[in-house]
Amino acid sequence: MKKSVYLDTTIPSYLFDDRERIRMYIDVTGKWWNEERSNFDLWISEETFNELSEGDYPRKKEILRCAVENALLPPNNEIEQIAQVY
């Protein structure tokens, strides 16, 4: 059985980012995505998807397409409370 990984907005966003000042984070994220993600069950919450949907930024369509490829967590109070904090 694979371990589960919850994706916040950072992972899909970094996969399509090209800012030089965060290049190290982008590269590490891309390496993990290409080499390690198949070892895990990946999950994203509706709250995270909504956050990605609301922004106005470059490559948004690609980021959203990447996000919906992952299993969607059913809504629950804990996720909503965490989202309110952030």
- Kindly tell me the burial class for residue 76, based on how many C-beta atoms sit within 10 Å of its own C-beta (0-12, 13-18, 19 or more): exposed
Whole-number percent of the chain with pLDDT over 70: 97
Domain hosting 50: range is 3-85
On whether the pTM is more than 0.75, the answer is yes
Domain count, the chain: 1
| Position 11 confidence tier, pLDDT thresholds 50, 70, 90 | very high
The pair of three-digit structure tokens given for residue 45, joined into one six-digit string: 């919450």
Q: Mean pLDDT throughout 43-54?
A: 92
Q: Is the pLDDT score of 76 beyond 80?
A: no
Backbone angles phi, psi at 72, to 5 degrees: -95, 125
Q: Mean pLDDT throughout 40-58?
A: 92
Distance CA 39, CA 82 (A): 26
